[in-house]
Chain A
Amino acid sequence: MEDTPMGQPPMAEARQIRVNFTTSSPDIQLPEGKTQLLVPADIKRYGLSRVLNSESMLDTPAPIPFDFLIDGTFLRTSLEDYLKTNGLSFESTLTLQYVRSLIPPVYEASF
């Protein structure tokens, strides 16, 4: 398809991880059937936040910066590194609890 921009061959596609988004805030809940997603393994907090805000997910009018909790700890590395550090498998579905980021980093003003 034409949607592969130049300099990004399809083989550059990273390994995938299946994630399941949950939240305890009712106002930013994803519709049922949209909570699971295959994401590139090298994705980090910022990428995940962008994904959540995107049109096909929450479709927020103005971007909300999110933080992500896995098993009660904030995600500070890529998902891939998280799996490695915790001895987990790419075969697992990771449950990511998303919360509004309390202290949004400056660069996110340019969303």
Chain B
Amino acid sequence: STHLSEPQLELRDFEESMQQWTSFQSKTHPLSLSLTSQLRLILTPSQSTKLSGSYRTGKRLNIKRIIPYIASSYKRDKIWMRRAIPTKRSYQILLCVDDSKSMGESSSGELALESLVMVSRALTMLEVGQIGVLGFGENTFVAHEFTEPFASHDAGAKVLQKFSFQQDYTDIQLLIRQTIERFRLARLQNTSRGSKSEDLWQLALILSDGLTPSSAHEDIRILLREAMEERIMIVFIIMDDTTTSKKDGDSNKNQSVLTLKKVRFLGNDEIKTEYYLDTFPFQYYLIVHNLEDLPGALAGLLRTWFAEVNA
């Protein structure tokens, strides 16, 4: 089957999706507010982290200017550096939601949609830039374009309509490839509209149970390196709801991905088990058991990342 053609989407009922959006929104409202205030500090820095420039007064001496200063008989006295006024950043944030069957068979699907509502609301309130939504499974599909506004219930309901967790495969490798391509295109479109591209930050948040064939992990790792070189940040949020089960009986209760192991048959008749997450290729990932964990965990991870980038 060809991965690039978008499948015909079976849309869920609009009224039902609208109700779902409204109920998720009121349920997650306090969390959205909390995430907004935490992200505001991280995404819109109040001062530049680097000292630069040449001024008569400032915070730190610019060593390179000391010799000319002496040589000029102390006339060229702009020897100080200051923290420059920060340039305003703009963001393109792509929320990628796993639409595969494994999500629907556990409660991870519902947790992912709640998270989607919570995070997208927080980002909309922040007004930091464009928000897009991508669904993925066997194929990927656009659930919301970057260029469309996301501020209405209507837009939200239209997004939810597209998720029914019926896809028979979870191709995260394809997702990453498409994410990189979409960001490349979005950057070009942003630049052509006259925004300065160096101030544009691109961030993808993946909401998924984390399960994709182990054999693809290495190829994903290679794609992630490519993304990093293009300054695309990809955060994987593993939806790991183990508290409830849609199927009857405790025996069907999904075990946490943290303790999930995979079996390998070695050539010498040996059997080895190793943790699934041991080969998980994402450097920036967090595991969410309850929705309440998400704002703090996500903010913490983004804070770490920005600190690393600015170091």
Secondary structure class of chain A's binding surface, majority of residues: loop
Interface residue total, chain A, C-beta cutoff 8 A: 37
Interface size class of B (residues with CB under 8 A): 20 to 34
Chain B residues whose CB sits within 8 angstroms of the CB of A47 once the complex forms = 265
Answer yes or no: B29 CB below 8 A from chain A CBs.
Answer: no
**CB pair A8 B254 closer than 8 Å:** no
Q: Please provide the chain B residues from 210 to 237 with a CB less than 8 Å away from any CB of chain A in the complex.
A: 211, 213-215, 218
Chain B residues whose CB sits within 8 angstroms of the CB of A89 once the complex forms = 101, 168
Cβ 8 A contact of A38, one of B260, B267, B271: B260
Answer yes or no: B273 CB below 8 A from chain A CBs.
Answer: yes
**CB pair B267 A7 closer than 8 Å:** yes
**CB pair B101 A37 closer than 8 Å:** no
Residue pairs across A and B with Cβ atoms less than 8 A apart, 18 shown, are A3-B264, A3-B266, A4-B266, A5-B266, A5-B267, A10-B215, A13-B215, A14-B215, A20-B251, A33-B255, A38-B261, A38-B263, A40-B263, A47-B265, A55-B271, A56-B272, A56-B273, A89-B168
- Which residues of A come within 8 Å of B, CB atoms? 3-8, 10-11, 13-16, 18, 20, 22, 33-40, 43, 47, 50-51, 54-57, 89-93, 95
Given A38-B261, A38-B263, 15 more pairs with CB closer than 8 A: A5-B268, A10-B215, A10-B218, A15-B213, A20-B255, A34-B259, A36-B254, A39-B263, A40-B263, A51-B263, A54-B273, A91-B167, A91-B168, A91-B169, A95-B251
